[in-house]
Amino acid sequence: MQKTLVIIKPSAIQRGLVGDVISRFEKKGLQIVGFKMMLLTDDMIKIHYSHLVDKPFFKRIKDSMQATPVLILALKGVDAVEVVRNMSGSTNSRKALSGTIRGDFSMSVQENIVHASDSVESSLAELKRFFTDEELFDYSPLIMPHLYSNDEY
């Protein structure tokens, strides 16, 4: 089973979409194994978006991500990284398909509701960035046999 990171962005918080977003992940069958609310510092944003620091739009990203606290989720499931990315939809919400989080709730490239890890490698780094080992939980939901066949998990 994989773990992956999701950040529910200020655009979702400001618009009252937190419950809708979390509900989609839960209804899909992803397990919440870590959850916290925090205000991202300048340093956290520089590290998290290090590949964009030199871009002319980096200030826009920083301002957007600091508009409110964010919610940080660690989700677990078979192929969780790919599942969450597919559920999130295209980064440019105007191109995101209906049925995806961004396709249903956003019209923006920046104000696009969620950040989702884009690979297994980045999910591992991002989970370590935002959670200590003690903040991630390992438990067996009773619904596992109803989510996966016995040879999938």
> What does the alpha-carbon distance between residue 100 and residue 49 come to, in Å, rounded to a whole number?
23
The reply to whether 48 belongs to the active site is no
What is the DSSP code string of 15-81?
TT-HHHHHHHHHHHTPEEEEEEEEPPPHHHHHHHTGGGTTSTTHHHHHHHHTSS-EEEEEEEETTHH
Which helix (H) or strand (E) is 129 found in, with range?
A: helix 120-130
- Closest-CA residue to 6 (of 28, 27, 21): 21
Q: Choosing from 48, 51, 115, 146, which is the catalytic residue? A: 115
Active-site residues, by number, are 115
